[in-house]
Amino acid sequence: MLKKLLGIGLALVFLGPSTALVGVGVLMNPSSTAAATCLSGSLVVGPVPDSLTATTKDGTTVTLNKSQLTHAATIITVGSQTAGVGRPGVIIAIMAALTESSLRMLANTGTYPESADYPNDGNGGDHDSLGLFQMRPQSGWGTVADLMDPNYQARAFFGGPDGPNYPSPRGLLDIPGWQQLDPGEAAQSVEVSAYPDRYQNYQPVAEAIVTALTKSASSNGDGGTEADPTVPETRTIVFPLPEGTWVKTSPFGWRTDPIDGDRRLHAGTDFAAPDGTPILATADGVVVRASYTDTDGGSIVINHTVNGELVASEYHHMWQTGIYVTVGETVTAGQHIGDVGSSGHSTGPHLHFEIHPGGISQPAIDSDVWLTDHHAEGIQPGDTQPATCTANTSTGGQ
């Protein structure tokens, strides 16, 4: 650790303070750098189909009707409006609702006769539980009237400081490190069920529901050079690394390559960060590349619609096991899409980040300037104090 700190000190002497975006940071263990700045952005719900058939992890076929899918749409909408949830949190919530109630708004007339007075999809009988997530008034989740409201139940499940049940019982956002948990474990952490292993079985169904109910975009297979009107307009721009975890080590522009010594245009910006630091999607969009090459290492490209125009963001040098999205997947601003690595043309753990207005086939521009111009969340444009982190002291490769 002492050698690393000395290395960082030397690096800062040689690099000097950056004149553009440089984060204020603290010494961090990579495992603790959860995507704290993960913002929800927007998951845009489209028309709700009359039915949807999907298959659980154990191979069981499940067919959901329009009422069930409408409840899923409510969960997605509430999640999209709740900072920090994103697509992963929405999937966890739908997994929980599928397991607890089959996505039905259940009354419980045995314990609460008045629950039948509210709109419902049938009668349940699990102790004193109610609704989509089978929440219990006696455990502090809310009144009978509260819990017979699907919108309220979704807000309670997500929780957080603005949740109706804060600080107890805990919602998803109140679970430390929920982003790093298996989705089934995260659902269990909220539900505290006597049968903790049930939730994971519904992950494929939850993912199919979110894909079917939200607008998505198709890819042409090589990075998506054409604008697709189904790529949702982003509501939020975020910095692609959690605040306080990075230091800018190589800006956009012409430079001498640190590996081969050639002088060429550096089409992105390098941000050194500890190996394993979460990489965040900079805006809502659709993944059009998630692959590994000898030069870029682990690489992700996402198409966005920003102010009505196609913009592609590019993220490089993840390890092969550090890519968490797939081509065609819809992501939200701040979603944890991968982890910092040092693969490909790289001399140390860092994120190489590019912005391409018009799509990936168009020239890159200075991503620092773009992030500043779009008031990206998670940075302070006037910061001049470099972050302190355990990143390699080199300026990074590509």
Give the model confidence (pLDDT) of 21-30 as tens digits.
Answer: 333 232 232 3
End position of a domain, from candidates 213, 232, 261: 213
pLDDT band at 341 (very low <50, low <70, confident <90, very high): very high
* Same domain? 10 vs 79: no
Half-sphere exposure of 58 (CA within 13 A, CB side): 7
CATH of the domain at 24: 2.70.70.10
pLDDT, residue 267, reads 86
Residue 381, in any domain of the structure: no
pLDDT, residue 97, reads 97
pLDDT, residue 383, reads 39
143 compared with 381, residue with greater pLDDT: 143
* Same domain? 209 vs 227: no
pLDDT, residue 255, reads 76
* Distance between start and end Cα atoms, the chain: 26
Residue 42, in any domain of the structure: no
Q: How far is the C-alpha of 322 from the C-alpha of 337, rounded, in Å? A: 8
* Same domain? 11 vs 158: no
Residue 117, in any domain of the structure: yes
pLDDT band at 230 (very low <50, low <70, confident <90, very high): low
pLDDT, residue 263, reads 83
The total of structural domains in the chain comes to 2
* In the chain, % of residues over pLDDT 90: 52
Average pLDDT over residues 28-34: 31
pLDDT band at 218 (very low <50, low <70, confident <90, very high): very low
Sign, Cα dihedral of 118, 119, 123, 124: negative
* Same domain? 126 vs 59: yes
Residue 113, in any domain of the structure: yes
Residue 394, in any domain of the structure: no
CA distances from 108 to 39, 74, 295 (A): 35, 21, 59
DSSP E strand stretches across 320-387: 330-331, 336-339, 350-357
* H or E, element range at 254: strand 253-256
Q: Is the pLDDT of residue 283 over 90?
A: yes
* In the chain, % of residues over pLDDT 70: 80
Tokens, residue 267:
């089409």
What mean pLDDT value characterizes the chain?
80
In this structure, of 121-125, 261-265, 269-273, 283-287, the range with the lowest mean pLDDT score is 261-265
Q: What is the pLDDT of residues 83-116, one digit of tens each?
A: 778 888 999 999 999 999 999 999 999 999 999 9
* Same domain? 70 vs 199: yes
Q: Is the pLDDT of residue 13 over 90?
A: no
Q: What is the pLDDT of residues 143-191, one digit of tens each?
A: 999 999 999 999 999 999 989 999 999 999 999 889 888 999 999 999 9
Domain that holds residue 7: 2-37+223-373
* Same domain? 259 vs 178: no
Q: How far, in whole angstroms, is CA 85 from its chain's centroid? A: 7
Average pLDDT over residues 380-398: 37
Contacts of residue 371, Cβ cutoff 8 Å, sequence gap at least 6: 21, 237, 239, 282, 355, 379
Q: What is the pLDDT of residues 291-319, one digit of tens each?
A: 998 888 999 999 999 988 899 999 999 99
Residue 218, in any domain of the structure: no
Residue 395, in any domain of the structure: no
